[in-house]
Amino acid sequence: MSKKTISFVSTRGRGLNTDLQLVKDNLMTALPEVEFEYYLNKTATKIPLINTKMEDARRTFCTEAQNIICMDPSIPIKIPSASERERRLLLATPFDYQFNIFMKYHDNPDQPKKQTFIRCTHVMPGSPFTAKLFHSFYEWEDSVTFLDGIPLPISWDILQEEKRTTVKKQLEFYFPQAKGKKILSILLVGQKPEPEDGSEPVNLFDNFNLKKIMDYIDDDWFVITNNEDLVELSYQLPYQYSSKFGYIKNKISLNDMMYLSDMLITNSSKHAGNFSITKKPIYYLEYLPKIFGDFIKKFYPSMYLKDLEQLLTLDFSNTELSPEQKNFCQEFSYDPTENPLETIEKLFKY
């Protein structure tokens, strides 16, 4: 008799994101009799013929898979409905596609509902926002089960004290000057446009006075960033500012900074959504065009920073949430009362 198989599927070259990685690690321990397969190929290139072939390959893989765990529009709609024994679980990581759909339907609510996830049997939305979005704007088969009220795996993990202690030791190993300080994380994502032939790479923070900003931030804060443009500006700072500023590339992952941050400034919907469970201040910083930025600017304007200079408007002596930040955290996180990893384990342990 062949072993039961669980397949992890992603599209657009995302590989295993943190939620999928946490689920995989837990299931490998909890279900040692299960085999695991992966379809992680990039399905969006500049060559249409390659895209078509990769989509065909993904459709074939998903048709033959027994059970699937995915995080985005990974399960093709052009495959048969799942059998009674199959599980196709969507972990609804808050990528930009969610805000793209929300803004489109907000402006034109009479559009037909999307069928993107119709072949999923189970959905873990991870937040009230996503649950409402999926119920309002997507079609589902009658047998679909929504695992509401449960945080996503990374959100749950962010609150685990053992992991927080491990990451804190790692941070203080690389940046001993951060010990005992509050952590301000400026974590930015996105691909900058390539410079034209022969030109210098563009610094999107050019002309900002980083020294003025660092002087404004209270001394009991340590600023962490992953952004090369910001680091390029930091080269102009006197040496003593190293006690307040650190660059985490190749040292600590962006996801790990979620465990330690006392305030998050980001342009990433994923990081903002994951971090909201901590009930700590979050701001959106305009860096590269993001539909998430349009969403924040429209619905949470006090959380929107149009540029670095607006850091000078924040009160770093107070880490209490503003009314808008409280609403954001409530909309994008569930109370951590149920362990999502245990829920997923039970789902596939049949």
- Give yes or no: residues 126 and 175 share one domain: no
Mean pLDDT value of segment 58-73: 93
In the predicted model, is pLDDT for residue 45 greater than 80? no
User: What are residue 124's DSSP bridge partners?
Assistant: 91
- Give yes or no: residues 218 and 308 share one domain: yes
Diameter over CA atoms, the chain: 68
- Give yes or no: residues 62 and 110 share one domain: yes
The pLDDT assigned to 43 comes to 75
Q: What is the pLDDT of residues 174-217, one digit of tens each?
A: 999 999 999 999 999 988 877 777 677 788 898 889 999 999 99
Q: What is the pLDDT of residues 267-315, one digit of tens each?
A: 999 999 999 999 999 999 999 999 999 999 999 999 999 999 999 999 9
- Give yes or no: residues 200 and 345 share one domain: no
Mean pLDDT value of segment 90-107: 95
- Give yes or no: residues 138 and 69 share one domain: yes
- Give yes or no: residues 35 and 143 share one domain: yes
CA distance 77 to 59: 9
Q: How sure is the predictor about 347, in pLDDT bands with cuts at 50, 70 and 90?
A: very high
Domains identified in the chain, total number = 2
- Give yes or no: residues 34 and 59 share one domain: yes
Q: How sure is the predictor about 1, in pLDDT bands with cuts at 50, 70 and 90?
A: very low
The pLDDT assigned to 246 comes to 93
Give the domain CATH number at 102: 3.40.50
DSSP state of 245: E
Q: To the nearest whole number, what is the mean pLDDT of the chain?
A: 93
pLDDT greater at residue 202 or residue 83: 83
| Pairing between β-strand 221-225 and β-strand 282-285 as defined by DSSP bridges | unpaired
The pLDDT assigned to 14 comes to 76
In the predicted model, is pLDDT for residue 330 greater than 90? yes
- Give yes or no: residues 127 and 215 share one domain: no
In the predicted model, is pLDDT for residue 10 greater than 60? yes
The pLDDT assigned to 272 comes to 98
The pLDDT assigned to 2 comes to 60
The range of the structural domain enclosing residue 267 comes to: 160-332
Give the DSSP letter string of 17-65. -HHHHHHHHHHHHH-TT-EEEEE------S-HHHHHHHHHHHHHHHHH-
- Give yes or no: residues 174 and 317 share one domain: yes
In the predicted model, is pLDDT for residue 109 greater than 80? yes
- Give yes or no: residues 317 and 183 share one domain: yes
The pLDDT assigned to 198 comes to 67
Give the DSSP letter string of 67-115. SEEESSS-S-SSSPPPPTT--EEEE----HHHHHHHHHHHH-TTSPPB-
Q: What is the pLDDT of residues 236-274, one digit of tens each?
A: 889 888 899 999 988 999 899 999 999 999 999 999 999
Share of the chain above pLDDT 70, in %: 99
The pLDDT assigned to 207 comes to 83
- Give yes or no: residues 194 and 209 share one domain: yes
- Give yes or no: residues 294 and 244 share one domain: yes
Q: Give the length of the chain.
A: 350
CA distance 280 to 306: 20
